[in-house]
A = this chain, B = another copy of it.
Amino acid sequence: MTMIEKAQVTVKRDRREELIDELVSQQRRFHALPSDLSADESAQVRRRALGEVAGTALEHIGHYSMDAERASRRNCENFIGAAQVPMGVIGPLHLKGEYVDGDVYVPMATTEAALVASTNRGCAAIREAGGATVRVEEAGMTRAPVFRTSGIEQTQRFLAWVREHQDDVRAVTDATSRYLHLLDVRPYAFGTTVWLRFRFDCGDAMGMNMATIACDKVVTEYIEHETGVPCIALSGNYCVDKKPAEINFQEGRGKRVFAEIVLEAPVLKKYLKTDARHLVEAQYRKNLLGSIAAGSRGYNAHFANVLSAVFIATGQDPAHVVEGSLGVTCIESRGPEGVYASVYLPDLPVGAIGGGTELATQREALDLLGVRADPKRPGAAAKKLAEILGGAVLAGELSLMAAFTSQDLARAHERLGRGQLPPGSRI
């Protein structure tokens, strides 16, 4: 290092200390660091400042391998580093779908003891039974702007206009992205309020962003202009994004997913330590009557657990687990001592591109699943992911329901939460 280089380093270091001081003293905002700092440098400055404020170093948060430049621009402002979420793997999970066929290993990022072990046990049972049948339907990504009218008569005229101009509307929305196609527009109205629930096919993207962009365009540049009816909010909560909602249960959102399996007595006994009678009764009193008693729209054991683990691993939006938690598990007697088990997820927004899917570990996780967008089969990668999620959720339901019947639920937690690892049971 030459003297000049050394001097530059010192200047740089001094300037950094200055920035840190400014952040600590609140003279400078965390998002207002100089643009010539690299993302890694900015992150370090922020961590150092926070460390001073909180009296604690943020070393581990600074330990990451992702492309900070890209992440800080596309995923997370005021970037300081990364949360490391432990990742495990289950499988092989044998699936027979339209977009997945054969064995997959599914990555799960979770901090909940026993979740991976338990879901893995479900995979073993499914594998032994010859694989689960899975199917996915495009429910469409939705966005529902809300409008204000003067009352019944203007609403009627407005809705008539929308009906008559559906093709024109589509021309505008579909021009915003070659990946987006407007499927239809569902209106709902009362009093002086009108919602238009736009439903898009977004190919391999989860699509919330592109749906919003398309809606913004068509609303501000076409609908409001032509009708004079003002849009009050581009999302009118009739979409419904990241809230549990009946319209999504009825109409679906994102992908609508189905998975099923028939398990005979030997599989139930060997892999799940249970039998048909106990499983069917637990299903009846817990998943059906229990959810009825509670007024829950999740008639299942724990869709949300499996979904959140795979969502985080693969860069999906974890807030969409709210929607994924809706749905129904069925377990019915089949044959003398077997069961038919199925899961139904009406509302599962997922994507193979965009959002968090391009981040380093998330991309690897998707590659592990063989989920990668193919221009020749647009939408197929996202649908494959949805089918896999259906299968994984089914595995999770089977194992947990079986664990309840074995009443070893809490005991398993006791062991696993404290560090011993007998496979297969969980809460």
Contact = CB atoms under 8 A, between A and B. Distances in A.
- Copies held by the complex: 4
B294 A192 contact: no
B120 A133 contact: no
Contact of A312 (B152, B285, B312, B370): B312
Interface in A89-129: 89-92, 105, 107-117, 120, 124
Contacts of A200: none
Given A82-B84, A212-B409, A242 B304 contact: yes
A375 B302 CA distance: 33
A188 interface: yes
Interface stretch (A1-9, A13-21, A227-235, A378-386): A227-235
A271 B70 CA distance: 27
A189 B251 CA distance: 12
A177 to B, nearest CB: 10
A64 to B, nearest CB: 5
B113 A293 contact: no
A111 to B, nearest CB: 3
A308 interface: yes
A217 B420 CA distance: 20
A229 to B, nearest CB: 13
Given A232-B285, A243-B325, 11 more contacts: A56-B367, A64-B84, A73-B421, A82-B84, A84-B84, A111-B362, A191-B260, A233-B404, A240-B296, A246-B249, A319-B321
